[in-house]
Amino acid sequence: MKTVLTFTFAFLFMHGHSALAKNVAIVKMVRGSAHSILNGAKLELKKGTWIEEGSTVKTASKSFVRLSFVDKSTMNVGPSSQMKIEKFSKQEAGVINVLSGKIRSQVSKDYLNMDKDKSKLFVKSKSAVMGIRGTDFIFSTNAQTGATTAVLFEGSVVFNKLDPLENVNDLESIVDRGHRINPGRFSVANSALARPTVPAKLASTQFRALKKNTEFVDVSIKEGLKQKRALVPPGLSGRAVASTEEGLKEVMDVKGKRQEINIDETKGFVRGDDVKPVDGSLVHIDSGTIIPLGKDSKFDPNAKEWVSPSFDVDADGEVVPPQGYMLNDDGTLLKMEKEEFKEVKLEVRPLDEVPSLEDIPVSDTVKKRGPAPAGINDFIDGLERPPIIDGYTIPRDNLPDYRNTLPKTPTRFEVRKGQ
């Protein structure tokens, strides 16, 4: 009897992994370097590699992975990202945990045999959760700031903050108390707000660029070649665009059709815990920072949104600050004053309460940062010196561990002027 029991245990130990393995996604494309981890075992990802439930997918900087799931949904994992497939099946809603970085996903609408009024997939981070019912979206979380950003291209999602003390086994009830995001809109959850921001219209230029850039390709255009959108849409006069008085409901002719716009509703608001950004806001996707639009913004009645005269968007959907400003990886906006960088105090407030960018207060603290700090398990894929502004140097006591060369992997260093 003892021999039989021993043999049975050994057989299950040796063959249990293959017998119980549950492949839920296959790699369709890899750019750069990526791997998955399951039960401590590391697997390099290549086209055709199957990924099991419970695996964590990690990408290096400037890398990208496209996955195809068993429900015919696709998911693109962006650069420097970590994503865990906590649960996935054809019978019940899956759970994807974005630990850091961002994903772009197109979830199948009809493949799963499930209640159409319930979420087919939950995507969560440490700070937020989103219920998906057939859609195309970006979900990004910043491990440093804790902020999570959701942008919807098509379909339907519900987005809410995730309280660690809540029963995370009932994600449906959590998302049902959140905000429903419609296509073209975004919402951000962060520690400064009790609830995620009320969904607002993302700037059309940024929306189009992000929607097109499905593979997170860095296609930033060169300095001096950035395209700015005309403030006056074709077929409309400058007078119509400039008419933005309080309470105005402007009626205009757009391609032969008359439309009404309540401009006050587009300016954003703060009502208790509900905070709505201005329609036409720009968002630093990687950090969740919402770029404020001020009184100097112009209204575009065709797009039904406000247009910043200061900020721009490059071809891959990244926010481009004006000359004399710098946007850090952690979302802090720095302004050059008297050859020193100072942090601009950004707040999400209604448009009429925000001054022009030049008049927004700055902190007294001098800041100059490199990229966001690397995580313990991040990739190091080469060495190079980071860009340092003229007149600044890195103290040598910061460099001995790197033999006076900074890692290409994001690392934070102080810099000093004139040394």
Kindly report the average pLDDT of the chain as a whole number. 78
Residues 6+ apart with CB under 8 A from 1: none
Residue matched to tokens 């927004």? 360
DSSP string computed for 226-269: PPPPPSS-TT--HHHHH---TT-EEEEEETTEEEEEEHHHHS-E
pLDDT of residue 366: 67
pLDDT tens, position by position, 149-161: 999 999 989 999 9
Rounded-to-integer distance, Cα 29 and Cα 289, Å: 30
> Using one digit for the tens of pLDDT, what is the confidence trace for 256-309?
455 567 888 899 999 999 999 999 999 999 999 999 899 999 999 999 999 999
In the chain, where the domains are located: 22-196, 222-419
CB 283, CB 149: distance < 8 Å: yes
How far from 268 is each of 183, 195, 245, 299, 369, CA to CA, in Å? 18, 15, 15, 13, 31
Residue 268: what pLDDT? 97
Q: Reply yes or no on whether the pLDDT at 29 is more than 50.
A: yes
Tell which CATH classification among 2.60.120.1440, 3.30.360.10, 3.40.50.300, 1.10.150.20 matches the domain 22-196: 2.60.120.1440
Provide the 8-state DSSP code for 407.
B
Task: Report pTM.
Answer: 0.76
